[in-house]
Structure 1
Amino acid sequence: MSTGVGIRIDTRDPDEARFRLADTYSPHILTVDDRSGFRARHGTGGTAELGVHYLSYGTGTTLLDAVPFEDFVLVSRPVRGRFTVRAEGAERLLSPGEPVALDSHTAYHLRWQDDCTLLTLRLARKEFETAAAEISGRPAPARLRFPLGRRPSPTGLTAVDQVTRFLVRDAVPSGLLTSAPLIRGQVLRLVVAGLLEAYDVVARTDEPGSGGAVSPAAVRRAIAYLEGAAAEDIRITDIAAAARLSPRALQEAFRKHVGTTPMRYLKSVRLARAHAELRVAEEGVTVASVAYRWGFGNLGRFSAEYRREFGRSPSEVLRAAR
């Protein structure tokens, strides 16, 4: 079990396991072939928006039939044993390390075999579908499905694997997901970007985009929102709502009136806030703590962007403040 992931359930009673796990996942039917070898162990870490879960059912074969999850998306892989997923006439048998994406809208039949332990990333559906719309350029979030019969691309799986390793080894054990919401939002979007690259998703939405001319006043509303909420985990849909535009119209308006994108403008605001903090930092403040607070998870990239913007490294500015 990974450091930072706390055991929430440890029981040999299948009925107790089913009842308690339904609160975390969804109502389901649990079938156990060997009650003597049954032991449900469930551990979680992270947050409701992005979490890391471990789940095992002991040495026998355990079957789980679930209703659609509705509120979340799972990216699961066995770390030992074998795991089988079946849905809508397709089936995948997974060996250790091989991932599968389970969407919010499909009813799955799942099987744990050979003392299988499952490592799962759990993403809140709203955040997942909002980030997917931002990344893919859709004007509004859509209902996304991952057809089980379509094999994922190696490039996308590598990206998802790298983020998973960071979550399991660093972000969850350090408490970064709970203490740094801007970093959490960025990591979630990295997971979503990898999933979109890996899987041929099917999107369904009835929400049209909006077009037409956009006044500078709408851009000013967006900028005022970005300046006032820079410390929050801002999505493109949040900025669009503040500007009273569709996300697509917002992007076009920023390119026309500001010469950049809304998210790049937000990064410049956060960089300026980090600079202001470093200039007056007291004893005990570190470059890393300031960078993380303002959403810069890669310290090397933060230092390079900071130097490019302000002509000095963040550590030089911090030393001068003391």
Structure 2
Amino acid sequence: MALSTATSPVKVEMLDGDHLAFDCEFFSTGSVSFASCAYEGTFQCTRQAATGKVLIFLPKQGRAVFRLGEDELLSVPGKGTIIDGSTSTTTRIFGPRHHLGLFIDQRKIAKHLANMLECAVSGDLEFKPHMDLTSGPGLALMQLVETAYNGLRGDAPLRQSPMALASLGDAVTHLILEAAPHRYSDQLATPASLPAPRHVKWAIEFMHAHISEPISMDDIAAAARVSVRTLQQGFRQFRMTTPMAYLHEIRLTAAHRDLMNADEVQSVADVALKWGFTHLGRFAADYKKRFGVLPSQTLRGGKGPKEGL
């Protein structure tokens, strides 16, 4: 269940009796948060605003039911539940209930997956809602989250080590991508491809060196010292995309970085034009598909609510 915040309010309704009690603790490492939540009573919670996170619940005791549209997901020990925070969720808690929570920024997951696959990742990852917590990566995730939560309580040394916290966030993100089936699971299971040939590397280096300039496919091919056809084949085989789609992706990432760090006088149009996006409507649509929010929301600091679940 999610506790209510100003940016992500939750409506709570009693379902049986009038007894309700909870004890929740939350710790954040930036784009990854850990929680331990215990509840008494039978009640229903409805989240009334979307979040920019993937929400993972790891039950230790009791039962809960998550309603997503017409679907209902039973949450019990041994079975983890993963929910896209961009959808409206109603949760029924049947206490006594105790679960661990793991909440990861969707952009971090997409970036981590792109690094694992060595190619651009776009669109909804389409996580399956359940994961097995009794063996394999699911069990390892349960143990790691519990260890992390215990290591963040009080004055634990882990809280004093930014590098360790960053590594911990990467580790749980990696395990989520392995433990929970999603749209890219088959690609992750495929043996890693051979290292990209020199002409693909030269093309990528050229793109980064001239990222804000109006370069064409012919320019990239010339820098890579191959024909356009050979360059296209190389990117399809070793990066699973096209050269221009790859250039579009790194420009979007650069625009995102600028919007995250923009000063008060910069506008979305300024940033878009800097990185070669002349059609602002298309830029906004592509940006939202890639990062889950509009450019204007990032510019205003709209990086998603920091709610606890």
**TM-score in terms of structure 1 length:** 0.51
Determine if the alignment matches structure 1 residue 145 to structure 2 residue 93.
no
Unpaired segments ≥5 residues, structure 1: 1-16, 204-210, 223-247, 254-322
1:62 is matched with 43
CA shift for structure 1 position 134: 1.7
Q: Deviations over 1:127-169 (max 9, x none)?
A: 2322122223331454323233x65584221231232132123
1:192 is matched with 173
In structure 2, which of residues 76, 83, 86 is the aligned counterpart of residue 105 of structure 1?
A: 86
C-alpha separation between the residues in 1 aligned to 2:6 and 2:80? 20
Aligned length: 198
Q: Is the 8 A contact 1:176 1:184 kept in 2?
A: no
2:183 is matched with 202
Determine if the alignment matches structure 1 residue 23 to structure 2 residue 5.
yes
CA shift for structure 1 position 92: 2.6
C-alpha separation between the residues in 1 aligned to 2:200 and 2:117? 23
C-alpha separation between the residues in 1 aligned to 2:6 and 2:162? 22
Alpha-carbon spacing, 1:28–1:165, altered in 2? closer, same or farther (3 Å): closer
C-alpha separation between the residues in 1 aligned to 2:120 and 2:204? 21
Q: Deviations over 1:47-73 (max 9, x none)?
A: 342222133442x21111224643222
2:111 is aligned with what amino acid? T
1:234 is matched with none
In structure 1, which of residues 25, 28, 39 is the aligned counterpart of residue 21 of structure 2?
A: 39
Q: Deviations over 1:18-66 (max 9, x none)?
A: 9xx32288223321124631124332123342222133442x2111122
Q: Report SS of the residue matched to 2:166.
A: helix
Unpaired segments ≥5 residues, structure 2: 185-196, 210-233, 240-309
Q: Is the 8 A contact 1:129 1:142 kept in 2?
A: no
Q: Is the 8 A contact 1:46 1:177 kept in 2?
A: no
Alpha-carbon spacing, 1:201–1:169, altered in 2? closer, same or farther (3 Å): same
Q: Is the 8 A contact 1:74 1:103 kept in 2?
A: yes
C-alpha separation between the residues in 2 aligned to 1:24 and 1:134? 34
C-alpha separation between the residues in 2 aligned to 1:217 and 1:198? 32
CA shift for structure 1 position 121: 1.4
1:114-263 paired onto structure 2 within 5 Å: 114-140=95-121, 142-148=123-129, 152=132, 154-172=135-153, 175=156, 178-202=159-183, 213-215=200-202, 218=205
CA shift for structure 1 position 183: 2.1
Q: Which has the higher contact order (CA 8 A, sep 6+)?
A: 2
Determine if the alignment matches structure 1 residue 90 to structure 2 residue 96.
no
C-alpha separation between the residues in 2 aligned to 1:24 and 1:181? 28
Q: Is the 8 A contact 2:80 2:131 kept in 1?
A: no
Q: Deviations over 1:166-218 (max 9, x none)?
A: 21233555545543232222222221222222222136xxxxxxx96444994
In structure 2, which of residues 26, 29, 33 is the aligned counterpart of residue 51 of structure 1?
A: 33
**TM-score in terms of structure 2 length:** 0.53
Q: Is the 8 A contact 1:103 1:144 kept in 2?
A: no
Identity, in percent, stands at 18
1:320 is matched with none
C-alpha separation between the residues in 2 aligned to 1:40 and 1:69? 23
CA shift for structure 1 position 112: 0.8
C-alpha separation between the residues in 2 aligned to 1:53 and 1:31? 22
2:216 is matched with none
